[in-house]
Amino acid sequence: MIVKVGKIEDFFLSSYTGQGYFSFFNDRLEKAKEVYLIQGGTSRIRSRIMRNLAINFVDRGYQVQRVHSPANLKNLEGLIIPELGILFIGEDCYRLLSTELSLNWKKVLELNDILDEEKFRESKDRIHKMLERINIHRELVYENLRKLEELEEKLEDIYQESVNFHKVNELEEKFIEKILDI
């Protein structure tokens, strides 16, 4: 009996920038045959579910792509099974995407159904306050990234004054020739 074991790839499809959240997830979503939205619970619980799904698919011989969150490397924004055309996306990532997508989804894994309603009601105010703080800090991140981009542009302007672009072009051409063995 031959047992085929899959492979896991880890990467990012999104980033926080001075202009806000930016993602290449839209392309992947539009190409997927099946999309599952994992909503409710926390990002840590959604990530746990996606990690366990990844292990199960790998054990069955499939290649799995784990898409990490740019805000917290421990958390996953999504999970892609290319061979099957299946994509799982966490609620946080979906909510942050800039465009509404017309997808064939309607496949939702709802985690709020597993919450203890009474405990959740008791914590609701604390949860909302924490979400407000998270949003404030996210805006501060955007503001600081905008400042960083401005500083990098100023630094680049200083370097530009001393660069011989003719030599840069020659160097690029030689490098390409060397790589391509021309």
Task: Provide the percentage of residues in the chain whose pLDDT is more than 70.
Answer: 93
What are 100's two structure tokens?
């509404």
128-182: pLDDT as tens digits: 899 899 889 989 999 999 999 999 999 999 988 888 888 889 999 999 988 988 6
Domain co-membership, 79 together with 132: no
Domain co-membership, 42 together with 106: yes
Question: What local confidence, expressed as pLDDT, does residue 102 receive?
Answer: 52
Question: What local confidence, expressed as pLDDT, does residue 154 receive?
Answer: 93
Of 94, 115, 136, which residue sits at a domain end? 115
Domain co-membership, 131 together with 143: yes
pLDDT surpassing 80 at residue 95: no
- Number of domains forming the structure of the chain: 2
**pLDDT band at residue 2 using 50, 70 and 90 as cut-offs:** low
What is the Rg, in whole angstroms, of the alpha carbon atoms belonging to the chain? 22
Do residues 68 and 11 make contact, with C-beta atoms less than 8 angstroms apart? yes
Which residue in this structure is represented by tokens 């990234």?
Answer: 145
Q: What is the mean pLDDT of residues 56-71?
A: 94
pLDDT surpassing 60 at residue 101: no
Question: Is position 2 within any domain?
Answer: no
What are 89's two structure tokens?
């996306």
Question: Is position 57 within any domain?
Answer: yes
Least confident of 12-16, 69-73, 109-113: 109-113
Do residues 29 and 103 make contact, with C-beta atoms less than 8 angstroms apart? yes
Domain of 40?
8-115
Question: Is position 1 within any domain?
Answer: no
pLDDT surpassing 60 at residue 16: yes
DSSP state of 72: -
27-51: pLDDT as tens digits: 888 788 888 988 888 888 899 999 9
Which residue in this structure is represented by tokens 């930016």?
Answer: 22
